[in-house]
Amino acid sequence: MSVGRTVSIVGTGSYVPERVVTNDDLAALVDTSDEWIYSRTGMKERRICAEDQATSDLGAAAARAALANAGVAAAEIDLLIVATLSPDMFFPSTACFVQDQIGAVNAFCYDLGAACSGFLYAIENARAQIACGAVETALVVGAEKMSAFLDWDDRSTCILFGDGAGAAVMRASDSGRGVMPAVMGSDGSLADLLWTPGGGSRNPISHEMVDRKEHFIRMQGRDVFKHAVTRMGDAVMAALEQNDVAVDEVSCFIPHQANIRIIDAIAKRLGVEDRMFSNVEKYANTSSAALAIALDEAAREGVLKAGDLAVLTVFGSGFTWGANVLEWGG
């Protein structure tokens, strides 16, 4: 499958807040333990924002790193997309705040809402616009201050998430296969398995809503787990088939970093245990930032080398999911 110009990721960057919160730190807040958290999730620690840091601050730091890595000036960006479920505010978009902080004065900017799947959706969105010639240079960012939306009294959710951001610069390329068209899907009938039910137009902010804690993330963990394994595995197979790439040709699989047991189950199903990238131990689940940070780390650590084929896959609230294949550096 080939549509329009070849599009490549020409630089990546990431940023995580300084403050490290370990499993033992959480055990001082709620009834849990390092053993419980690590054995069920693979998480050891996560980064949590300072109170005065907002999602756009994390996104801007990651964006600056990606632009420096790409050797691209902020003024060269035509399109700036921020994937997030924890925006600075309802409006304007967090992308506009990032634009202002980095000086991307020539970009048009918007947020993309696909929860934990957001960064891959944003990559596909930018790829399509560059491929058809609508824009030349895009900056895609996944940024989350998850800590602002967690009930720190609920041990079933507060242990799972962290804050952070990652970014990628994308441009048309005249070599290699670049970022290939993604396979994506959604199922809105399962929205209530993972959501924040209060604070929007369905259930506006009120004292009663806040007393019921409906402005915090709620999740049916076991159901989410099963759907995540099935959907990401299926999406990877479909993306490989669509782009005529065999599993054995892929050097690195980079999945959404939600839980090491989800990642291990997908790896086992695909038979790629030796090529699965994970950093969930260090950052926990940073939602739309997770894939972005993982991609940047895989590139910086030399796991991804020029000419390698990599597969990215995501799953998140909605439900939403997707996968793509890319040739790194080409």
Name which of 95 and 159 has its Cβ closer to ligand ACO: 159
What DSSP string describes 164-209?
EEEEEEEEEESSS--BPPPEEEE-GGGGGGEE--SSSSSS---HHH
Name which of 23 and 243 has its Cβ closer to ligand ACO: 23
How many angstroms separate the Cα of 67 from the Cα of each of 16, 122, 216, 232? 17, 17, 34, 30
Provide the total of helices (H) and of strands (E) in the chain, helices listed first.
11, 13
> What is the nearest approach in angstroms of ligand ACO to the Cβ of residue 50?
24
Name which of 70 and 258 has its Cβ closer to ligand ACO: 258
> What is the nearest approach in angstroms of ligand ACO to the Cβ of residue 67?
28
Which stretches of the chain bind ligand ACO, using CB under 6 A? 32, 36-37, 40-41, 116, 155-156, 159-160, 194, 219, 221-222, 224-225, 228, 256, 258-259, 285, 315-316
Instruction: List, by residue number, the catalytic residues.
Output: 116, 256, 285
> What is the nearest approach in angstroms of ligand ACO to the Cβ of residue 154?
9
Name which of 69 and 288 has its Cβ closer to ligand ACO: 288
Name which of 11 and 322 has its Cβ closer to ligand ACO: 322
What DSSP string describes 239-307?
HHHHTT--GGG-SEEEE--S-HHHHHHHHHHHT-GGGB---HHHH-B-THHHHHHHHHHHHHTTSS-TT
> What is the nearest approach in angstroms of ligand ACO to the Cβ of residue 184?
15
* Distance between start and end Cα atoms, the chain: 17
> What is the nearest approach in angstroms of ligand ACO to the Cβ of residue 225?
4
> What is the nearest approach in angstroms of ligand ACO to the Cβ of residue 116?
4
Strand, helix or coil for residue 23: helix
62-75 per-residue burial string, b: 16 or more CB within 10 A, e: under 16: bbbbbbebbebebe
Name which of 165 and 194 has its Cβ closer to ligand ACO: 194
1-13 per-residue burial string, b: 16 or more CB within 10 A, e: under 16: eeeebbbbbbbbb
In degrees rounded to 5, what are phi and psi of residue 37? -65, -45
Which residues, listed in sequence order, are joined to residue 194 by a DSSP beta bridge? Answer: 219
